[in-house]
Amino acid sequence: MPKRVQMRRDRPWRKDHPDAVIVARPTKWGNSYRVGDGVMTDAGGHRTIKDRQ
């Protein structure tokens, strides 16, 4: 079972966990979407759902 390792500056986490994989935003496992891209307001979302019906 994978275990979560928190990256910290005050102690060398990489030495303690050499096989750890970084899953931060810029990596291939991170969230590639930017905050604010294609954001819909509540009214816009309701309008889109009504158009589908």
Q: Which two tokens stand for residue 18?
A: 């050499």
User: In the chain, where are the structural domains located?
Assistant: 1-31
CA distance 48 to 35: 20
Express each pLDDT in 3-50 by its tens digit.
888 777 777 877 788 888 877 777 777 776 666 656 666 655 555 555
Whether 35 contacts 41, CB under 8 Å:
no
pLDDT at site 3: 81
pLDDT at site 47: 56
Residues contacting 40, CB < 8 A, separation 6+? 48
pLDDT at site 39: 61
